Amino acid sequence: MSTLSTGPEHDASPIIPIPGCLIPLKTTLETREEVKTLRVHVTAVRPQVASGTLGLIRTLLPKDGGFDLQHLRRFAKPETLPASVVEEYTSLSSSRAEGGERVIFLILAATSLIPSSALAESLEAHLESKVPLVEISVPLLAPTSAAQAVAWSNEYWPCVYKKSNPFGPHPSLVARAQEEVEGGSGRWMGVAWEAARQAADEGVGEGVGVCVVERKAGGEGRCVAVAGDLRWKGWGGRDQGGSGNVTAHAAMRAIGMITNSLSQAIPSSTPTIFQTSQHLPLESSPLIFPPDPDGYLCHDLEIYSTHEPCVMCSMAIVHSRFGRVVFEQRMRATGGICADGEGGLGHGMWWRKELNWTMLGWEFVRDGDPETKRLIDVDEHLNA
Amino acid sequence: MSSRNMSSDEHALHATYMNEALAMASHALSTSETPVGCILVHPLHSILARGLNATNRTRNGTMHAEFIAISSLLTSSLPGSLKTQTWKARADMLRECTLYVTVEPCIMCASLLRQFGIRRVFYGASNEKFGGTGGVLDVHRGNGKMLSALGTSSGRDEVSEGRDGEEEKEREEGDYEVSGGWGREEAIVLLRRFYVQENGRAPEPRKKGERVLRLDVAPLGEGVSS
């Protein structure tokens, strides 16, 4: 425990929850602008033979040859299609001169599965009439919002938004989790900011802090670790210049505090630079509960950070298997969590499939005037 | 930094240092740690620090070999005039140091090395799951910033050596040189030896009784199982 006093005004002031709300983060895949498309054969048939035609396709190419087309309407009336699709079909079929007979369009198969000549031949044998095929592009993956579904329907082919998200966590999962964490998030952000303030006031670190919360199935969360930045401790202060002790960033310290209390952890027998012992007054507060000694890393815990963690801390959070990450101030030049944002690194590390661990993530947005809401200023190029 | 332009003496020197890193990785394996080892080499003072993975002993998933080595550099007793130096002065030496590490640094360690200002990194096996110097991100170049026009990180298709001919982005503060493939086969076999053992600490341990240790390693470009 530190011998430094925080002064009576600090001891007396309880942590005041910060009013605000949570905005779900975007994944790297969601922020990519281009739409991946698939080339497919389409045609139009009389409604009476529509289901028979699809049945033939199902026999010819079971399960659509492995392509998932669930987000596309299989059948579409001409008036629901982009004009270009209908025009191209009409130009091919005009010789038939069917005099305004009603037809319905349908997606047959990906062009990579079967050449149009072979497909036409199979269908013509069944339908006993000529089958003009048109090749068009359709979105390969499901839309991630209702608005995107409408835009794609106008541009390519009628799409269905099923509240699924191939580019990130399922929207209903995010919504349920947000209900769970949103109410208490202002309180935990308040704790994180208080740790940041203590670190900055004491001069041992930058004004960055985190609070780690454990939550049992849907219940109230409880704080199991608080850490402020300690990069200048042992370094001789910020005046010395340089990076400071990079391993003493707030998130790294909090992870160390949690894992130190695991029952089988063996502490280092030699001195290290790792600042995983409690130092700031708030870090030893009686408000902090001991974490589960039988836990594994920081599995499914929640981390609330005043600032977007740097690339190192973001990956440390992934390695430690946190379940949820919340931060307030974006760090465009250095942050590893966000995927979007002008001038950001774009790493989106909270949810990247290749990293073998994903979590849920939110940006905490404080109520009130954004110009006046910052408690502590840090350099915009700081690695938080 | 391509090994193709190196003299055979220089090549042999790097190989010798990589053997020291591999010895640390072997030591890790014998103490039930993921076998990754590293050393920090200074041009005047030779090997200044060593590190091996300590994630199992500490139960802390961030205690990778690179963290241990840098901590050792800043806190252990060093020879002669280096003895009394402060953390700051010792950390400044990293600007002249080369890290030899048996497996490509993960994204976390690549950022640690960048922030501390390492001069250059030689690694063995590439790390396609977590790699921060080519495997997944290029933290050693411009902090891995996405090239917005392409939607991919810069040059991720180039993993090991031979970056010299590449179109160079302007060098940024903190960027460092990287060369892969040094002692790669030995590094991979060590990892395989570890993965045929059970990891009883992970939740629901997977049965590995039927796993067979393979000692053959496919040449570069044909898939690395690190």
Output A322 or B150, whichever has higher pLDDT: A322
How many beta carbons lie within 10 A of that of residue A51, not counting itself?
12
Q: pLDDT tens across A81-139, in order?
A: 999 999 999 888 765 545 567 899 999 999 999 999 999 999 998 888 888 999 999 99
CA-nearest residue of chain B to A352?
A: B136
What's the mean pLDDT in B142-157?
57
Q: Could you tell me if A252 lies within 8 Å of chain B, comparing CB atoms? A: yes
Chain mean position to CA A73: 27
CA distance B114 to B116: 5
Question: In angstroms, rounded to a whole number, what is the distance separating the alpha carbons of residues A140 and A110?
Answer: 10
Distance, in Å, from the CA atom of A205 to the CA atom of A232, rounded to the nearest integer, reads 5
What domains are there in chain A, each with its CATH number? Answer: 20-30+169-382 (3.40.140.10), 37-155 (3.30.70)
Predicted TM-score (pTM) of the model is 0.80
Q: Which of B86, B109, B146 sits opposite A236 (nearest CB)?
A: B86
Instruction: Kindly provide the ipTM of the predicted complex, given to two decimals.
Output: 0.85
Residue A329: strand pairing partners: A307
**Are A326 and A305 contacting, i.e. CB atoms less than 8 angstroms apart?**
yes
Q: Is the pLDDT of residue B182 over 60?
A: yes
Determine the pLDDT at residue B161.
41
Catalytic residue among B20, B33, B66, B210: B66
- Closest residue in B to A274 (Cα–Cα): B71
Predicted pLDDT of residue A32: 75
CB contact (8 A) between residue B75 and residue A274: no
Q: Tokens 């027998």 belong to which residue?
A: A269
Q: What is the mean pLDDT of residues B160-164?
A: 42
Q: By the 8 A CB rule, do B94 and B72 touch? A: no
Interatomic CA distance for residues B144 and B170, integer angstroms:
13
Determine the average pLDDT of the residues in B126-133: 95
B107/A236 Cβ within 8 A: no
Question: Please, which pLDDT band fits residue B27 given cuts at 50, 70 and 90?
Answer: very high
Best to test chain A binding among B64, B115, B204 (most A CBs inside 10 Å): B115
How, if at all, do strands A75-76 and A104-110 pair?
antiparallel
Per-residue pLDDT of chain A (384 residues; tens, 9 = 90+): 333 333 444 444 578 899 999 999 999 888 876 788 999 999 999 999 999 999 999 999 999 999 999 999 999 999 999 999 999 998 887 655 455 678 999 999 999 999 999 999 999 988 888 889 999 999 998 888 888 899 999 999 999 998 878 789 998 899 999 999 999 999 999 999 999 999 999 999 999 999 999 998 778 899 999 999 999 999 988 899 999 999 999 999 999 999 999 988 898 888 999 999 999 999 999 889 999 999 999 999 999 999 999 999 999 999 999 999 999 999 999 999 999 888 899 999 999 988 989 999 999 999 987 666 666 778 999 999
CB within 8 Å: A349 and B107: yes
Residues across chain A: 384
Beta-sheet pairing, B177-179 with B120-125: parallel
User: Under a CB-based contact definition with an 8 Å cutoff, are residues B224 and B128 in contact?
Assistant: yes
Phi, psi torsion values for B51, nearest 5 degrees? -150, 150
pLDDT for the residue A375? 66
Specify the residue for token string 């079909």: A89
Q: Find, among B212, B203, B163, B190, the residue nearest to B22 by Cα.
A: B190
B44 Cα to chain A: minimum distance (Å): 22
Cβ pair B135, B104 in contact under 8 A: yes
Are residues B61 and A321, on separate chains, in Cβ contact within 8 Å? Answer: yes
Across the A:B interface, residue pairs with CB atoms under 8 Å apart total: 136
**Active site annotation includes B173:** no
Nearest to A246 among B107, B116, B145 (CB): B116
Question: For residue B200, what pLDDT is reported?
Answer: 54
- Ramachandran bin of A99, using left for φ above 0, alpha for ψ from -120 to 50, beta for the remaining angles: left
- Give residue B221's pLDDT band: very low, low, confident or very high (50, 70, 90): low
Residues linked to residue A20 through DSSP beta bridges, in sequence order: A366
Tell me which residue in B109, B116, B144 faces A347 most closely, judged by beta carbons.
B144
